[in-house]
Structure 1
Amino acid sequence: MLAASLAAGGFTADPAQLESPLGYFALYGDCTRLGNVLAALEQLWALRRHDINVKKHPAWYFTQRTADAALRLAERERLDPAEVRSIRVTMEPGGWIR
Structure 2
Amino acid sequence: MNKNELVSQVADKTELSRQQATSAVDAVFDALQTALGKGDDIRLVGFGTFSVSHRAASKGRNPSTGAEVNIPARNVPRFAPGKSLKDAVNKAGK
TM-score by length of 2: 0.23
Per chain length, whose mean CA-contact separation is higher, i.e. which structure has more relative contact order (CA < 8 Å, sep 6+)? 2
Q: Normalized against structure 1, the TM-score is what? A: 0.23
Bigger fraction of residues in strand: 2
